[in-house]
Every structure is written in C-alpha cells, then in structure tokens.
A and B are shown apart, each in its own frame.
Chain A
C-alpha cells in the first residue's frame, strides 16, 4: 500500500465544480508509491509556499539526446519515491486525435512503469508522462516504440511540432495542417531526437488566421493558412443572418479592419483587393462567406517567450507558399534557415533573436528572399542604414 499523507490544504482544491487535479493525483496515489509521494511533496509546497524540484543530471534513452526531462526532488529523504521523477514526452498525433484502444494501452504501460500521472498535453504538444525513475526509461521507450510511438523533443532540438484541428473538423482551413505537421515531424526525426541546434526550434501550423494553435506567439516557425482569391458571398445566407438578429453593419462591416465591406440592408459587398484576410467576417458568418481561389500559407518566423530580449511574435518571411505534399519548398526553406542559425547562433539564442542581432538583410539574403513591404509594418524611421558595394553599383 502506498503511503497515505494528510493533505488539508490540497483537500480544499477538491471542492468546487471544476475537475480537480488533486483528485487526479489522489486516484494515482491510491495505488502508486511515486504518485503518493508527489502528493505529499505538493502538500508541503502548499504549506511552505515554495517548490522543491531541481535538475541534477541529464537522463534519457539510448541513442537519443532528448525526449526526457530529468527532474529530481530536493527532499529525496523525506519523499524517496520521487527522488527522481522524470517526464517522458511522447510525440502526440497531429491535432491530438486518439482512439480508446491506444489510450488504454498507454495507461497500462504507464501504470506499470510510471506514476500513473500525465499531462494531456504539454503546451508544446507532447503527450506528457509525468514522473518516473531512471530505470524505467528504457522499458517505457521499448513499450511505446514497439507499438509505433516515439519520443518528442526537448533541449536544443526541434521540438514536437503541433497543429490545429484544420481540415479534420474545421471549414476554414486553407491547408492540410495535420499532414504538414506529420510530414515535418517525420522529415526531421534526427533533428528532434539528437539536439544539435543552438537552442530549441518549434513548428506550429494553423489552418487560418484565427490561429487556434497560437502559432504566431509560440513557434520559431509559424505556418498560417491563407488564400489569394475573393471571399465568396452567399447573399441568401447573409439575409438569414440578418433575419436571425445579427446587426451586420455594426458587427461585421464596422469591425472589418480594412473597412473594405459595405452593406445596404440587402447586399453585402467586399472589396477583396483591400481585404487583409483577418477572418473576422468569415468566423461570424460561416454559412455566408468563404475564402476562395488559390490556397497556401504565410510562413512567419521567430516567436518566443520573454527571455532574454523580451517576448516576440513571429514575423512574415514568406507571404505565400503553396502547401502541397511532400512540402519540399517548406523543407528546403527550413534547412536553409537552420544552416544560417547553426553557423551564427550563440548558445541559447533562438532564431528570432539571431535575426534581430544580425539583421533581416543577412537572413533574407542567405535564404534567398527579396525584401517586400509585406515583411514590415512600416519602413525604418532613421537614416542609419548600410550600403554594400553591390548596392552602390545598382543604378
């Protein structure tokens, strides 16, 4: 029987309507020594208002440099079963679709070799198995990989790519987000499992500018679906929205960022040349409006959390790329970017930081892209720019 801890503070978090993580830890703790000590340790954190985890040596599976986060308790004597309590990142499926069969198998393996606790999912998109000891890592890997599952990324490597639900269940997707995600993951297995980059690199793919996967905020490479043609308007459906109480002038026309719509009470018109494809009108009138014509993606680079230079959002590098399997254009671009980053990036410098440090010009020239106004919100304000010999030769 696992040790039973008194947890008066955590018990407070079993009350209320939202499902309780404490109840989850207790369920696992009833039959698992590691989960029991995790519960006891967490109660202690609640009492003392501090955490007790530390690093303490890299761990992993043979042949891989990532996929496992080593985690050690600084109170190993008091809570011996979480003395080491590592996370295993399992590479999730595109858009997190599963079957009951897989989930049950996963639970069987994890009950046998781990704490019985998971995160569905970590924010990078891994299926996170939360807490096991060093000896169990190889067996866990053998059990999962023999069934067709692999580890995700960690450390200075490509991290597990993730994508929105896209064409599987969304009428707005301009690209096959699931297939792109799968193709990128398979193409760069070595870059994922054997960290050799200056720092981490993340891909996230969204089917449209709604960006349900938050790619623009948290991916070194954000792939966002878009289109080149007109927005088709079904005036009958427009009338139905109006009849059902939508104030089309206020809610749609006036909120269009480019002020390119008009509505006279009968007909909704769009000046497509001025539309920025923001998705507002389509999202609100999905039965009436649809992007048409050529479909593809905008490729943006460089978002990251605040360390070290402040948070950044991804910025446009390729305004439009056709996205057709096997996605060679994307893969070639990625290889080129990595080559530049590998050569110039400092330890723990993300590609977006490197672009800021060395300048867009060097980056764009290296990957072979000409400057266009779509790259910027506005041109520079200062007169302190450089000229190369080649620039001077241009007439």
Chain B
C-alpha cells in the first residue's frame, strides 16, 4: 500500500484543536481552583464556568492498549479531551459535573490509581534505564514502581507538610531532573570503562572516541591502535561507550544508586535549590531494590516528623542544618559527601556556630 505524502518542517498541530470547549471559552480567564480531594480539582473562571480535572498515575511506559483505554475513557466522560502532565500523570478533563462520579467508579474498577494533587507525592519523573538506554547504571521503571508501591498512600490519600517531588535518573547524565528534586535517585557507575584493547581497532574510531570524553581522560595508545583511560580524570559518564562499544561501562557488581535530597525548582518562599548528596551508594538489588526504598522511607519520615507546614524537604533541612539532617536520619557521613568538584570551597563550613 502506498504511503501518504510526507511533509517536512510543519511542526506540531496547534494546541487549540485539542482544548475542550470550556477551556477555549475561558482561556486565560481562570479565577481560582479548589482541590476537592487528592485526585480531583476544579477550576472556576471569572464567568463562573468550571472544569474538573481527575488525575491518575501512569507508569510513563505505556502500551497502545492502555492509551486506547485512556482515549475510550476520555470519550465516554470528557468529550474526548485528555492531557498528560510533565510528571507522567493522566488528566481527564471533565466539563460536566455529572460525569465525575461515574468516571471515578470506572477508574476504580479498572484499578487506576487516582490522586497526586496537593501536598503529596506525585508521580516520579524518570528515565529509560535498562529498558532502553546504553549508559544506565540501574533500571528506572523498576525503581519507580518499587517506590510508588511503597508510598502509594501518599499519592492517593495521606498528606505531607508540602509536595515531595521524587525523581529517578539511571546515570549521572541525569536525564531525570534529579538535581532539583526533593528526594531523587541517580544511577552511578563506580569504575572506569573496561578498555577492550584488541577490539578497539576494529570497532572504534580513535579520534572520535578521544573527542567524546568531556574530561579529556582518553589518550591514544598507538602501539595497539587503541586508547588508554586516565583513571583519575574519568567521571564515569559513559560518553566514550556511546561512540566506542569496546569501552563497556556497565558493571553488575559496582553499579548502583545514589540518593540526593533537598532540591526544588519553584521560587516559592526560597530560591530554587539543587539536591545534595544524602547516600553515596546503595547496591542494585532488583527487582524491588529494598535497600533503596527503605532509605527513602527513612528520609521521608524524618521530613514528616521535622518539617513545618509548607516547608519543602530542602527548606526543612536548611532550617535545621545539614548536621541535624544526618543526625535525624542516622545516615552515615562519608568522604564522598564532601565536595571536591567545581564548587567545593563554597560548601566548606566557615563558621564556628553549628549544632552538635
């Protein structure tokens, strides 16, 4: 069968074609919203018109079967209108209040997890991991599933001092935004790539391999038509493996997960913050990474016990001090915690006033 005529550089369709009529009519004219329960909110316009949003979790990795089910639900209850969020939730956009209860019931029957609105744990921003990426030091989807099962109540019902934003990135490229999340996991390699010297001359191009290294750790090994890696310069980023498959970095024994805490992106109350290192390494223990979930639970519980209302994790830690964070969580403090990278001296303590 002949293919349809391709077109180039047309860009995406205009979003107006995808907005429910009530949104088109009240675009830019919303007055306020109310969170009716953890999975439902209503936005009210200056004209007094309303749109209800019903939010459910998705695993981000979706089959066409499930997307068709989303579409069918949207057709039945929302005039066919639906949106997805940056945190991989699905939002059903309901224009007719009568449809909310039947939609919620249908979602419940189909075992959807409804929630994530308000001071709770929303869905976890994450990356590809072993599902699809070459530099992964851990899986991402599996860690997300294990964490969200553990903390499901904080998505569906229980509330927290403020939102807690979780993220998972499967290597230090950090496609997963972990550098500014309340609590985040990042996959780490701990050893430099293995140099398969005899394969390099057939599989790789030496100049492009050298050029791929962001830290200049790779140098030629002309005798073998291969390369050498300077151990003390390598940041385990895996870029060289991208261009040269004879430099594998995946390491079942030494790869694992680091846990960083206290980041945020909004400017509310305090400036956006980077996440900082709480636990330098937890081993990979699939399928459920019990050591990781238990460490996150420790941190979350300390936050719940210590934070004031509306404080994010980072704001709580800054108020009590990092020395108190390590005390409250009983997490060990190690050499890895002390920065020796580009901003190291900014992080040393320049005061004799601190807590025991």
Q: A51-B250, A98-B18 are in contact. Are A119 and B268 (CB under 8 A)?
A: no
**CA of A213 to CA of B86 in the docked complex: distance in angstroms?**
7
Contacts of A182 in B (CB 8 A): 11-12, 14-15
Decide yes or no: A171 and B33 within 8 Å by CB, A97-B18, A306-B179 being known contacts.
yes
Docked-complex contact A46 and B142, CB < 8 angstroms: yes
CA distance A102 to B12 in the complex (A): 12
User: Does residue A56 face the partner (Cβ distance < 8 Å to B)?
Assistant: yes
Q: Tell whether, in the assembled complex, residue A100 and residue B287 are in contact, meaning their CB atoms are under 8 Å apart.
A: no
Q: Min CB distance, A203 to chain B, in Å?
A: 13
Of B64, B286, B342, which one neighbours A116 at CB under 8 angstroms? B64
Other-chain contact of A21, B15, B60, B135, B309 (Cβ < 8 Å): B60
User: B250: shortest Cβ distance to chain A, in Å?
Assistant: 4
Closest chain A residue to B23, Cβ basis = A168
Q: How far is the CA of A382 from the CA of B250 in the complex (A)?
A: 44
Residue of A nearest to B211 (CB): A347
When chains A and B are docked, how far (Å) is the Cα of A308 from the Cα of B216?
11
List residues of chain A with CB within 8 A of the CB of B125: 123
Chain B 123-142 per-residue mask, 1 if CB under 8 angstroms from chain A, else 0: 00101011111111001011
Cβ of A118: which chain B residues have Cβ within 8 Å of it? 61-64, 67
Chain B residue nearest to A86 (CB atoms) is B132
Judge if A220 is at the interface, Cβ distance under 8 Å: no
* Nearest-neighbor residue (CB-CB) of A48 within chain B: B252
Asked if residues A51 and B180 are in contact (CB atoms below 8 Å), the reply is no
On chain B, the residues within 8 Å of A236 by CB distance are none
Q: Are A45 and B139 closer than 8 Å at their CB atoms?
A: yes
Q: Does A390 contact B (CB under 8 A)?
A: no
* A314 CB to nearest B CB, Å: 9
| A31 to B339 alpha-carbon distance, docked (Å) | 50
Bound state CA distance, A218 and B239, in angstroms? Answer: 20
Chain A residues with CB under 8 Å of B82's CB are 97-100, 103
The answer, among B7, B10, B134, B287, for a CB contact under 8 Å with A10, is B287
The reply to whether A87 and B12 contact each other, CB–CB distance below 8 Å, is: no
Contact across chains for A27 and B63 when beta carbons are under 8 A apart: yes
Beyond A168-B23, A210-B268, is A130–B132 a contact (Cβ under 8 Å)? yes
Closest beta carbon of chain A to B158's beta carbon, Å: 13
Q: How many residues of chain A have a CB within 8 Å of chain B? A: 125
Count of chain B residues with a beta carbon within 8 Å of a chain A beta carbon: 117
CA distance A7 to B235 in the complex (A): 34
A97 and B81 form a contact (CB under 8 A): yes
Please, which residues of chain B bring their CB within 8 A of the CB of A164? 86
Q: Is B220 at the interface (CB under 8 A from chain A)?
A: no
Tell me whether B66 and A91 are in contact (CB under 8 A): no
Report B139 CB to chain A, min CB distance, Å: 7
- Are A150 and B237 touching (Cβ within 8 A)? no
**A93 contacts B13, C-beta separation under 8 Å:** yes
Q: In whole Å, how far is A62's beta carbon from the nearest beta carbon of chain B?
A: 8
What mask results when residues 5 to 30 of chain B are scored 1 for a CB within 8 Å of chain A, else 0? 11111111111011100010001101
B354, CB-defined interface residue at 8 Å: no
Interchain CA distance A117-B62 in the complex, whole Å: 6
Q: Chain A contacts of B211 at CB under 8 A? A: 347
Is the contact region of chain B dominated by helix, strand, or loop, or is it mixed?
Answer: loop
A3 CB within 8 Å of chain B = no
Which residues of the other chain, A, contact B10 by a CB distance below 8 angstroms?
145, 148-150, 189
Within 161-208 of A, Cβ neighbours of B (below 8 Å) are at: 162, 164-165, 167-171, 173, 176, 178, 182, 185-186, 189-190, 193
A64 → chain B, closest Cβ, in Å?
7
Candidate in A54, A123, A125, A150 with the most chain B CB atoms within 10 angstroms: A123
B67 and A107: CB pair below 8 A? yes
| Contact between chains at A46 and B287 (CB < 8 Å) | yes
Report the Cα distance A149→B84, complex, angstroms: 17
> In the complex, what residue of chain A is closest to B309 when comparing beta carbons?
A251
Chain B residues lying within 8 Å of A141, measured Cβ to Cβ, are 6
Known: A50-B255, A97-B19, A313-B272. A55 touches B245 (CB 8 A): yes
Q: Do B269 and A278 have beta carbons less than 8 Å apart?
A: yes
**Which residues of B in the span 262-284 have a Cβ within 8 Å of any Cβ on A?**
263, 265-270, 272, 274, 284
A45 contact set on B, CB distance < 8 A = 130, 139
B269 touching A96, Cβ below 8 Å? no
Do residues B5 and A142 form an inter-chain contact, with CB atoms below 8 A?
yes
Distance of A313 Cα from B172 Cα, bound (Å): 16
Bound Cα distance from A162 to B14, whole angstroms: 13
Q: Chain B residues with Cβ under 8 A from A309's Cβ?
A: 342
CA distance A305 to B242 in the complex (A): 18
Residues of A with Cβ closer than 8 Å to B? 9-10, 12-13, 15-22, 24-25, 27-28, 35, 38, 42, 45-46, 48-56, 63-64, 71, 74, 85, 87, 91-104, 106-107, 110-111, 116-121, 123, 125, 130-131, 138-139, 141-143, 145-150, 162, 164-165, 167-171, 173, 176, 178, 182, 185-186, 189-190, 193, 209-218, 250-251, 255-257, 276, 278-280, 283-284, 286-287, 305-311, 313, 347-348
Q: Top 7 A-B pairs ranked by shortest CB distance? A: A16-B149, A146-B4, A167-B28, A100-B71, A18-B148, A45-B130, A107-B64
Q: Which residues of B contact A (CB under 8 A)?
A: 3-15, 17-19, 23, 27-28, 30-33, 43, 51, 53, 57-68, 70-72, 74-75, 80-86, 88, 90, 93, 111-113, 125, 127, 129-136, 139, 141-142, 144-146, 148-149, 152, 155-156, 172-177, 179-180, 211, 214-215, 235, 237, 239, 241-243, 245, 250-252, 255, 263, 265-270, 272, 274, 284, 286-288, 309-310, 341-343
Q: List 28 A-B contacts (CB under 8 A).
A: A18-B148, A22-B145, A24-B59, A24-B63, A52-B250, A54-B245, A71-B134, A97-B82, A98-B81, A98-B83, A99-B18, A119-B62, A120-B88, A125-B86, A145-B8, A149-B10, A150-B7, A150-B11, A150-B12, A169-B23, A169-B53, A211-B266, A217-B180, A217-B263, A218-B177, A280-B268, A307-B214, A348-B214
